Structure 1
């Protein structure tokens, strides 16, 4: 099979992070757009991208893109695509859709048209009239924007944030993919201290430990494309074997998580165990204002309450003041704090060196970055590199 076009979707604001993750996999022809990174790949690229991309939401095969201002254009454009290259006779192919600023605004109607067009193309290829859809699942999406249609097949299945370790419910958790992105935007590397004094269910410390030990985030889960006959099982086996070989399972790390909520701390410890990282992280129950670690050049990375789902306004403002006090005690540390709360810097009592707009789910936030000095042995490193396979 010739190289084809893949797309890694990503939360707005993390495109540069995911782009460099894709580049680290050896992929070529990389194009960065809002919310997605497109690149050229082959069958092994599907397996490696799903296993290794830390901050992407999904990995999609881009089947085609064409003008679609009418239902006829949508039907004919879809029918012209080589669906049988991917879909066997028994494929289950549910169609989802979305439409933005397009004449074809009825998403259910567009989904129906695409489904019919795919069936017609497969009738021509396979010479049969009925398709039982009893086989592997090929989730298809039609995305319409400005009267152009993009047709994709989702290789991931469940979103890539579902690593498999976070099974207990804790209020307002941060997505694993966003946590990984924030860590990769920070100056943290294995060999430095990383701490989260509002750790909740432990996502930020756990994602940091996975980065520090170069553990592929998808190693403990499965993907939709693993069941596709077009991708030999040996490709997935080789990709997982490579990931196992590249992991630094025993690398010592100094990662700390704390929270005022004992239930959250207990959940964090459990999740670290599920991720195989119980020995890599120290969790304890402690209010944020009592956080102190007597080591230089650490990184504090946290997603504190915003007052939207957890905490009232006064509690949140007091917490931000406490974090500012913690910063005053750790002058050589770097701080990376994600919040949607307006006027955060006023309560932290210091203006950020950098701010970056990110989205925690549908909540518009800013990552406030306070950049302390780099450790002497890291002076030549870039400030926001990523771990790579």
Structure 2
């Protein structure tokens, strides 16, 4: 079978988490860069990576890498790629996205149109035809230029991997499912420890935790654009990956996961989303303010995405809100707390310095993942 290279983009700051996920699937890491991991695998990796990876934004099948300082070089190097290896004669293809950073070529519309023309020219020669009807399966192409180095990939995913399919209702500033999963995987939480999100919004963090604990693959209930690429990925490889996903699920798991929010509407939305994700029986949602947070169990985890005060109308309430979080930490002294926030004075008003502080980009916004580690639980007697 042919081996390919794949590029998995991710949020800046969570590369180590995604690298571990890819290795756990059994694939070899080729390169780790800011915001993306390159790995190698056979064609079945397209199905398995899309279905199982929790923290990747999408999976790109890498088809070319070259230098281009001029549009002529971009055209010729694009044309030199063996497009007939990937695109059937009737393929519908287009350059869906081009990004350029610190490169001589800056116009993304020109990059897209020139690359499309180069691919058309190559395909006409390869398939000995005067025209391409483009009536077949869709093959979107993504290209990145960084310091004049061009990386070209076929987008195997379609809608981003954060679109699990369960979140119909969302909060004002929802956290992406992929980032929520990463925060949980960065923490030492496991299914045997209590977990509370006191700012649960539409329920993303508790739902992702329940899916992790029950070993429910994030992509098993959605479709991917590469499912129609039978020239690259045989249908049986998708069926095999789905069978593997069902076989992995732990249907007998019992977990103590709770999501609270001050808004009753958000609590209702979270319950509906959990039901769609088929984890509603594993999570307790309730309307409750953060200052009222208590828990009878010890050595649990708070993992949460509180308001950052990015709206001017909210800024004046941030000191009080983060002060309330600090009071909760005092009262739940055996618990560990993990907070992602773009609020610069978070530690000041919590009144405690984080054990660890990790910079993560939530979209274009710089945030910090504050990790307040509680004591380890005593070892159970043998």
The 3 A distance-change label for structure 1 pair 335 and 310 is farther
- Cα distance, 1:310 vs structure 2: 8.8
CA distance in 2, matches of 1:104, 1:361: 24
| SS class of match (1:58) | coil
- Cα distance, 1:377 vs structure 2: 4.7
Aligned residue among 326, 329, 334 for 2:328: 326
Pair 1:164-2:194 in alignment: no
Larger deviation, residues 312-321 vs 239-248: 312-321
Q: Is there any run of 5+ residues in structure 2 with no aligned partner, and where? A: none
| SS class of match (2:30) | strand
Larger deviation, residues 126-135 vs 257-266: 126-135
Render the CA deviation track for 1:152-174: whole Å, top value 9, x for unaligned. Answer: 11101010000000011321110
Aligned to 1:259: 261
Render the CA deviation track for 1:244-264: whole Å, top value 9, x for unaligned. Answer: 000112311110000000010
Structure 1 runs, 4 residues or longer, greater than 4 Å off: none
| SS class of match (1:376) | coil
Render the CA deviation track for 1:312-370: whole Å, top value 9, x for unaligned. Answer: 12322211111111111111111000110111111000000100011222211000000
Partners of 1:171 and 1:310 within 8 A in 2: no
Aligned to 2:242: 240
Aligned to 2:52: 52
CA distance in 1, matches of 2:296, 2:108: 56
Aligned positions of 1:16-165 closer than 5 A: 16-95=16-95, 96-165=97-166
CA distance in 2, matches of 1:201, 1:85: 43
CA distance in 1, matches of 2:23, 2:312: 37
| SS class of match (2:254) | coil
CA distance in 2, matches of 1:45, 1:191: 31
Aligned to 1:382: none
CA distance in 1, matches of 2:377, 2:213: 17
- Cα distance, 1:309 vs structure 2: 4.3
Aligned residue among 265, 285, 288 for 2:287: 285
Aligned to 1:386: none
- Cα distance, 1:46 vs structure 2: 0.8
Normalising by structure 2, what TM-score? 0.97
Larger deviation, residues 224-233 vs 188-197: 224-233
Aligned to 1:383: none
Q: Is there any run of 5+ residues in structure 1 with no aligned partner, and where? A: 379-389
CA distance in 2, matches of 1:333, 1:148: 47
Partners of 1:114 and 1:142 within 8 A in 2: no
- Cα distance, 1:291 vs structure 2: 0.6
Partners of 2:2 and 2:43 within 8 A in 1: no
Aligned to 2:187: 186
Aligned residue among 360, 363, 367 for 1:361: 363
| SS class of match (1:94) | strand
Aligned to 1:274: 276
Aligned to 2:302: 300
Partners of 2:170 and 2:201 within 8 A in 1: no
Q: How many residues align?
A: 378
- Cα distance, 1:311 vs structure 2: 6.0
| SS class of match (1:205) | helix
CA distance in 2, matches of 1:42, 1:4: 6
Partners of 2:29 and 2:37 within 8 A in 1: no
| SS class of match (1:149) | strand
Larger deviation, residues 69-78 vs 308-317: 308-317
Normalising by structure 1, what TM-score? 0.95
